[in-house]
Amino acid sequence: MKKLIIFFAVFLFASNLVNVNFFPQNNKLDILLSLDSKFNGKVINIGKNEFLITDINTLREYKKNFDKFFVKDVIISPSKEGVLISFDTNKKYKTSVALTPDGYGLRFRIMDIQSKPQNTKLVIQNPETSLDYVSYIISLAILIILAIILWLFRKKISKKLPVKAGINILFQKPIDAKNRVALIEFNNRKYLVIVGNSNILLDIFDENMINISTKRDFDNFLENEISEKLDNLQKYIKNAEQLKEFNERI
């Protein structure tokens, strides 16, 4: 009789189970028990994969199956002292219990302690992916080096005599550090010019007026034919550069 009185007293003051919701997430399963009053019971491990939650009344059994999850199924069934939670899993796990802020909800969590964090795959790189990444960096570096070489080559070429389409530079010889004399061919005519800081046309020859086929012929031509003219031009160039420097200082 005394045990019967205690049983009805527990039933009278215990919370009633209103609903059960399951929330599977990655490596954990949350089971939320909704109650009609604040929970004042305990959670007791009574066996392998079995837990007793006291001071909760229910006449209904809740069952949930899961596909490709570390928990295969969960059964929540009525018991004399509360509700019994049993589940099937072959993984190592740990459990935790928490109340909602108002105390009308109990969260029972089952967590797989063997699974790796979700972001592990982001840290571990596939060797083939790493190799592709290194190849990409090497290719990019080669392209940058080639671009620098082409830029330097273009810069160096731009300092020399500009060559237009159809103009052929036959021979050239430096006069000083900043000027050179050149024999160029354009439209079957040859032009003797000084290029550099001073661009001066020295002479124009028709196709058969001069016969210069080697560098030695060109040097002899400069020495014998226009040496005096070159001396005067060097003086002119020197005076022009001095005048330019003077104007810049002003």
pLDDT at position 62 is: 96
Bigger pLDDT: 227 vs 2: 227
Residues 146, 148, 150, 152, CA torsion sign: negative
pLDDT band at 236 (very low <50, low <70, confident <90, very high): low
pTM assigned to the model:
0.44
pLDDT at position 95 is: 95
Cα end-to-end span (Å), the chain = 124
Tell me if residue 95 falls in helix, strand or coil.
strand
pLDDT at position 141 is: 84
Tell me if residue 176 falls in helix, strand or coil.
coil
**What amino acid is encoded at 181 in this protein?**
V
DSSP 184-219: EEETTEEEEEEEESS-EEEEEE-TTT----SHHHHH
Give residue-wise pLDDT tens across range 100-113.
988 899 999 999 99
Strand pairing class (15-25; 56-57): parallel
Query: What CATH topology corresponds to 2-112?
Result: Immunoglobulin-like (2.60.40)
Give residue-wise pLDDT tens across range 131-159.
567 777 888 888 888 888 888 877 766 55
| Mean pLDDT of the residues in the chain | 78
pLDDT at position 183 is: 85
pLDDT at position 63 is: 95
Give residue-wise pLDDT tens across range 160-184.
555 455 678 888 888 777 778 888 8
Percent of the chain having pLDDT more than 70?
A: 70
Residues in the chain, total: 250
pLDDT at position 203 is: 77
pLDDT band at 49 (very low <50, low <70, confident <90, very high): very high
Domain ranges within the chain, ordered by starting residue:
2-112, 168-249
- Any idea which of 83-92, 179-188, 191-200 has the lowest mean pLDDT? 191-200
